[in-house]
Amino acid sequence: MKTDKAIEEIMMGMVREKAMEIYSEAMIEYGVNPRNYGSIKDPDGYAKITGPCGDTVEMFLRVRNGTVEEATFNTDGCMFSIAACSVAAEMAEGKTLPGCIGINQSAILDHLEKMPKDHEHCALLAATVMQKALRQCIEGAEKDQ
């Protein structure tokens, strides 16, 4: 007789297999196991936007010598928003501020490979919040000069 744990593992395997028919492995991985989730105390760049779908995203950036050292996010959004924000934050780390200009909806969607059309706005929201946080970093650096 199979244990509850064994049955649960079989069921989760079936769910994952079915999900892989619809979403990319990257989409599932970033949505279920996001990287860079959380906040940064006293960030150099911060932005918060609530999208038209009602998801709110916060992006936090720590910048050293013109390079994004750390990027994190918080959201109350769905798996698609979580995945898009996770990708945006990961893409920013290690890049110069001008190098982050390419973090846009298209770049996020390309990284995730497959996102349902009716959730592509989540990538736009993530990119918009990232760009707003980057703008705050640039404006802060200009004030310091």
What is the amino acid identity at position 11? M
**Are residues 102 and 111 in contact, defined by beta-carbon separation less than 8 angstroms?**
no
Which tens digits make up the pLDDT trace of 62-102?
999 999 999 999 999 999 999 999 999 999 999 999 999 99
Of 33 and 108, the structure prediction assigns the larger pLDDT to 108
Residue 111, pLDDT > 70, answer yes
Phi, psi dihedrals of residue 48, rounded to the nearest 5° = -145, 125
Q: Which of 94-103, 122-131, 133-142 has the lowest mean pLDDT?
A: 133-142
Options 3.30.70.1900, 3.40.50.300, 3.90.1010.10, 1.20.120.160; CATH for 25-144 is 3.90.1010.10
> What pLDDT is attached to residue 1?
60
Centroid of chain to Cα 50: 15
Beta-strand runs (E) in the chain: 45-50, 56-64, 67-75
- At 58 the pLDDT is 98
Domain boundaries, the chain: 25-144
Mean pLDDT to the nearest integer, 94-116: 94
27 in Cβ contact with 115 (< 8 Å): yes
Q: CA nearest 105: which of 145, 51, 143, 29?
A: 51
What residue type is assigned to position 59 of the chain?
M
Q: How confident is the model at residue 144 (pLDDT cuts 50, 70, 90)?
A: low
pTM for this predicted structure? 0.84
Four-CA torsion 74, 119, 26, 91, nearest 10 degrees: -50
H/E stretch holding 76 reads: none
Q: What is the pLDDT of residue 20?
A: 66
Q: What is the pLDDT of residue 70?
A: 97
More confident of the two residues 94 and 10: 94
